[in-house]
Each structure stands twice: as C-alpha cells, then as structure tokens.
C-alpha cells in the first residue's frame, strides 16, 4: 500500500485527501466483511486497529501538511509502509537482544526499521519531487527515520502508526525550514564546555544515587538528560530542569504516608527511575537539541510538572473525581478522572514553570503565557485520552502518556506563538 505514496507526484492535496478518505472508509466498512483474514490473530473486535489507523494517519498528514509539503507526507508514508514491517519481520526472524524500554522488540528490529524507513523515504521523496535529493535532505530524512524507528519501538498502548507518524512529520517540517539546527544561546560551544556539562551531571548523578533521592537507573538517566540539556541549552535551560525536578519531588513526598495507605503513592518511596526520567525529559531534551524555541522547551516541562502536581494533589485533596469528557462522577483512581483540586494544582504547576522561564529570560511575557497554556493543556490532554481509552477499550502505557503530555504542551505553545 505504501507504493500509492508515489501518486503524490501528480495529485494535489485535495486529491490526496480524497484518496486517503476513500481508503479509510473502505477499511472501516468493507474490510470487516471481505478482508478479516488480513487481521492480526487474536482480535475479537470488528476492526483491526492498525488497518484503520493506517489510512486515518495518512489522511491526517495530508490535511496538516499537504497544502504546503506533499513530499513530506510521501516521505513519512514511506516510513510507515516500509520501516514498520521491516522492524517486525527482522525482529521476529532474527531476534537478538530486547530493547531496554520495550522487551517485546529488539535492537535488530529497531535498526532494520531505521534502515528501511530511511531508504524508502529517500526514494519516495526523490520520486515525488522528481529531483535528486541534496545533502541536507538526506541528513534530515536520516534523522527523521531514526526518530520514527524509535517511536515505533515505544510501548504505547495504542497503534504505533498513530504514535510515530505525526511527531516525525512535525520534526521533518521544522528541520526543513531550520537546517542546520541553530544552537541555543548559552549552549556548549567548545569541548571544555561539554566537559563541564559532563562533570557536573556525573557528580549530580552520583550524589543523587548515594542519597537515594532517585533509584540507580534514575540517577543514570537523570545524569544523561541533564548533560544533554546543559550542553545543548545552557545553564538557564538546566535551571528549568531542576525546578521541575525539585517541585515534582516535593509534590511526590507531600502526604506520602497517606497516599501509600490509600494505594496511590509512587512506588519505591517516590524515587524515580530511568523510565520516569525518559517519560518526562526525553521530549524537552530533544526540543533543545533540534533548536526549537525556548517556549516549547518550557511548556514541555510545564506539562510534566502540571501532570505531577495534578496527580499528587488530586489524590490527597481531590473530591468527587469526574470524567473530563462527560463530567460524570467516577470512582477515585479511575484512569483519566480529574478533580477540581487536582486541576487547580495542574494549572499552578504550568504557571510556575512559565514564570520561571520568564524570570530566567528564556521567554517573553507572551511566551510565558503560551508556556502556561501549553503546559496545562498538555497535562489535560493525557487525562482526556486516558478517559477516551477507558471508553474505547484501550489503555495507554503510563510512561508513554507522560511523554505525550510534554509533547502536546510543547506543540500547543508553539501554535499559540505562531512558530
């Protein structure tokens, strides 16, 4: 089906959208009657989520990017069509060591998916544009394919077509207009600066691990995240990381015994591990590396803190939890349920990070407002999607949901600023 991406050489966005919509309608209405043999085994549902998600994501890509950049849509479509199955086939037939973040997938599958996603996207992009790609295009698609392969390997709880395609397309769109990425003011510009960033975070990791503030894996993961953010973003960006960490840790410790008695406390005495670090820091660190505006970086951490405060405060003082979609009363602890106290704390967390970014000179007043709004919306988006998943019969992986809210927060802030 990926070969249909070649047709974007002759179609405009309207024709491409019409074809994608027709394919979606066919997969929803006709496939359950005539094509159930193509479904993955063990599916009791009427529809295979992947078969429905595939044309739906292509349609979304066309609607979002088609008016300005159909070759980009073709490139990401090729990654979906060839990179994803290559990872599955290689992972199942060759095997090899499992991925640390997803034991059901392997390093062999990851690199096979990356290789095929890059090769296919480069070939399809070249055909659709009818010209040989330049070095910059090759570099951007190579990075995009790596990001796609990684996102496809993440344990999410929803179909990987939905998880990987849109973020990859957004990255390609940004890099296409900002290549090479512009480093932030204050970023490491020499090997001595890099060495200082490494030494500082190595010392912090050792101290945090020894004091048992975080777990061993959390100390290592936090050291890596801190090194990347300090080296790529400078001391002001590093301060944002620490504000998030300290405020989130205090919120986790707040009323810990009471939360433990109720079964809602963070495990291991509130000590965070590498999975928590990746969920909350991976997106902000990536934003700094590729040179996106500081407002996106601050909004991503704002969403992470908003989510943490909303959860911790909501479990202590939240009364009468309810659905963010229907507003019906829900039992405490129901996935996606929110409370007035938790929502207020969430808004406060987003505002705190925005104010810190403003005080540090990372953003302007309008940027701070966008950060606060993006952080709050990002945290709320996680609750909404969890509530929708509860109704639709799927469950988001917890770490993926945390990373999702940072991504949504950053994108909302960028949209509000017109970036």
pLDDT in tens, 230-258: 999 999 999 999 999 999 989 888 887 77
Q: Could you tell me if 211 and 172 lie in one domain?
A: no
Last residue of a domain, one of 155, 177, 199: 177
Instruction: Output phi, psi for 298, to 5 deg.
Output: -65, -40
Cα 143 off chain centre by:
16
For the cut 60, the answer to whether the pLDDT of residue 368 exceeds it is yes
pTM above 0.95, yes or no: no
Residues 6+ apart with CB under 8 A from 399: 155, 275, 276, 278, 279
Q: Could you tell me if 230 and 361 lie in one domain?
A: yes
Average pLDDT of the chain is 91
Q: In the prediction, which pLDDT does 316 show?
A: 85
Q: Could you tell me if 58 and 200 lie in one domain?
A: no
Domain count, the chain: 2
Average of pLDDT values for 272-283? 91
Residues 383 and 318: beta-carbon distance below 8 Å: no
Q: In the prediction, which pLDDT does 256 show?
A: 73
Q: Which two tokens stand for residue 66?
A: 């088609």
DSSP state of 82: I
User: Is residue 204 in some structural domain?
Assistant: yes
Q: How far is CA 264 from CA 247, 253, 260, 312, in A?
A: 19, 12, 6, 9
Q: In the prediction, which pLDDT does 51 show?
A: 83
Q: Could you tell me if 217 and 276 lie in one domain?
A: yes
Q: Could you tell me if 226 and 320 lie in one domain?
A: yes
- Between CA 409 and CA 312 the distance in angstroms is 19
Q: Which two tokens stand for residue 74?
A: 């073709």
For the cut 90, the answer to whether the pLDDT of residue 267 exceeds it is no
Q: In the prediction, which pLDDT does 194 show?
A: 95
User: Is residue 182 in some structural domain?
Assistant: no
Q: Could you tell me if 166 and 220 lie in one domain?
A: no
Average of pLDDT values for 86-91? 93
The predicted-structure confidence for 372-413, as pLDDT tens digits, reads as follows 999 999 999 999 999 998 888 888 898 999 999 999 999 999
Average of pLDDT values for 304-317? 91
User: Is residue 117 in some structural domain?
Assistant: yes
Vertex 378: Cα angle to 179 and 277 (nearest 5): 75
For the cut 60, the answer to whether the pLDDT of residue 210 exceeds it is yes
Beta bridge partners of 99: 102
Q: Could you tell me if 255 and 116 lie in one domain?
A: no
Look at the block and give the residue holding tokens 């796609």. 148
User: Is residue 64 in some structural domain?
Assistant: yes
Lowest mean pLDDT among 108-117, 243-252, 269-278: 269-278
- Between CA 368 and CA 309 the distance in angstroms is 19
Last residue of a domain, one of 151, 177, 203: 177
For the cut 60, the answer to whether the pLDDT of residue 43 exceeds it is no
Q: Could you tell me if 56 and 128 lie in one domain?
A: yes
Alpha helices for 254-293 (secondary structure H): 256-262, 274-289
Specify whether the backbone of 340 is left (phi greater than 0), alpha (psi in -120 to 50) or beta: alpha
For the cut 80, the answer to whether the pLDDT of residue 50 exceeds it is no
Count CB neighbours of 127 within 10 A: 16
User: Is residue 183 in some structural domain?
Assistant: no
Q: In the prediction, which pLDDT does 158 show?
A: 87
For the cut 90, the answer to whether the pLDDT of residue 32 exceeds it is no
Q: Could you tell me if 234 and 370 lie in one domain?
A: yes
Q: In the prediction, which pLDDT does 334 show?
A: 83
Domain ranges, residue 301: 191-417
Instruction: Output phi, psi for 223, to 5 deg.
Output: -65, -40
The predicted-structure confidence for 179-200, as pLDDT tens digits, reads as follows 988 888 888 889 999 999 999 9
For the cut 60, the answer to whether the pLDDT of residue 45 exceeds it is no
User: Is residue 54 in some structural domain?
Assistant: yes
Q: Could you tell me if 233 and 362 lie in one domain?
A: yes
For the cut 90, the answer to whether the pLDDT of residue 33 exceeds it is no
Of 318 and 406, the structure prediction assigns the larger pLDDT to: 406
Q: Could you tell me if 205 and 351 lie in one domain?
A: yes
User: Is residue 160 in some structural domain?
Assistant: yes
For the cut 70, the answer to whether the pLDDT of residue 264 exceeds it is no
Q: Could you tell me if 173 and 227 lie in one domain?
A: no
Last residue of a domain, one of 150, 177, 204: 177
User: Is residue 186 in some structural domain?
Assistant: no
Q: How many residues does the chain have?
A: 419
Q: Which two tokens stand for residue 299?
A: 């909004």
Q: In the prediction, which pLDDT does 292 show?
A: 92
């Amino acid at each position: 089906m990926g070969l249909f991406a070649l047709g974007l050489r002759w179609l405009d966005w309207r024709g491409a959208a019409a074809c994608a919509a027709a394919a979606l309608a066919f997969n929803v209405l006709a496939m359950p009657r005539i094509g159930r043999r193509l479904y993955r085994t063990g599916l009791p549902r009427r529809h295979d989520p992947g078969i429905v998600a595939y044309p739906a994501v292509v349609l979304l890509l066309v609607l979002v990017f088609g008016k300005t950049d159909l070759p980009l849509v073709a490139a990401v479509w090729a990654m979906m069509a060839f990179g994803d199955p290559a990872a599955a086939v290689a992972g199942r037939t060759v095997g090899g060591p499992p991925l640390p973040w997803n034991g059901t997938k392997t390093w062999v599958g990851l690199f096979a998916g990356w290789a095929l996603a890059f090769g296919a996207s480069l070939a399809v992009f070249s055909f659709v544009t009818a010209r040989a790609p330049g070095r910059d295009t090759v570099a951007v698609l190579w990075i995009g394919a790596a990001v796609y392969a990684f996102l496809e390997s993440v344990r999410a709880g929803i179909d990987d077509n939905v998880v990987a395609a849109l973020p990859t397309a957004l990255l390609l769109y940004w890099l296409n207009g900002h290549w090479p990425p512009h480093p932030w003011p204050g970023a490491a510009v020499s090997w001595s600066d890099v060495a200082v960033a490494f030494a500082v975070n190595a010392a912090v990791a050792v101290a945090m691990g020894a004091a048992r503030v975080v777990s061993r894996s959390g100390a290592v993961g936090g050291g890596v995240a801190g090194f990347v953010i300090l080296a790529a973003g400078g001391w002001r960006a590093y301060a944002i990381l620490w504000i998030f960490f300290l405020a989130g840790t205090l919120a986790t410790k707040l009323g810990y015994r009471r939360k433990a008695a109720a079964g809602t406390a963070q495990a291991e005495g509130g000590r965070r591990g590498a999975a928590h670090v990746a969920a909350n820091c991976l997106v902000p660190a990536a934003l700094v590396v590729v040179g996106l505006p500081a407002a996106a970086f601050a909004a991503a951490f704002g969403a992470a803190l908003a989510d943490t405060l909303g959860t911790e405060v909501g479990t202590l003082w939240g009364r009468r939890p309810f659905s963010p979609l229907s507003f019906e009363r829900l039992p405490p602890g129901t996935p996606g349920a929110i409370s007035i106290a938790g929502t207020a704390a969430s808004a406060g967390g987003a505002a705190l990070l925005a104010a810190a970014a403003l005080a540090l000179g990372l953003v302007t007043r309008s940027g701070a407002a966008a950060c606060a709004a993006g952080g709050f919306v990002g945290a709320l988006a996680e609750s909404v999607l969890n509530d929708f998943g509860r109704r639709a019969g799927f469950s988001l992986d917890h770490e993926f949901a945390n990373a999702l809210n940072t991504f949504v927060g950053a994108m909302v802030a960028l949209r509000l600023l017109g970036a």
